[in-house]
Chains A and B, each alone.
Chain A
Amino acid sequence: DSGVTQTPKHLITATGQRVTLRCSPRSGDLSVYWYQQSLDQGLQFLIQYYNGEERAKGNILERFSAQQFPDLHSELNLSSLELGDSALYFCASSPPSATNEKLFFGSGTQLSVL
Chain B
Amino acid sequence: DQQVKQNSPSLSVQEGRISILNCDYTNSMFDYFLWYKKYPAEGPTFLISISSIKDKNEDGRFTVFLNKSAKHLSLHIVPSQPGDSAVYFCAASARNQGGKLIFGQGTELSVKP
The answer to whether A and B belong to the same complex is yes
Checking A4, A43, A106 against B103 with a beta-carbon cut-off of 8 angstroms, the contacting residue is A43
Which chain A positions have C-beta within 8 A of B36?
Answer: 105
Q: How far is the CB of A105 from chain B (nearest CB, A)?
A: 3
Taking CB as reference atom, which chain A residue is nearest B38? A105
Task: Report the stretch among A12-20, A69-77, A94-102 that lies at the interface.
Answer: A94-102
Assess whether B59 is interfacial by the CB under 8 Å rule: no
**Measured between alpha carbons, how far is A58 from B43 in the docked complex, in Å?**
20
Assess whether A64 is interfacial by the CB under 8 Å rule: no
Which chain A positions have C-beta within 8 A of B106?
Answer: 42
Docked-complex contact B103 and A105, CB < 8 angstroms: no
Taking CB as reference atom, which chain B residue is nearest A6? B43
Assess whether B89 is interfacial by the CB under 8 Å rule: yes
Within 8 A of B (CB), among A22-53: 33, 35, 40-45, 48
7 pairs, CB–CB < 8 Å, chain A vs chain B: A43-B103, A56-B100, A92-B43, A99-B95, A100-B99, A102-B49, A106-B43
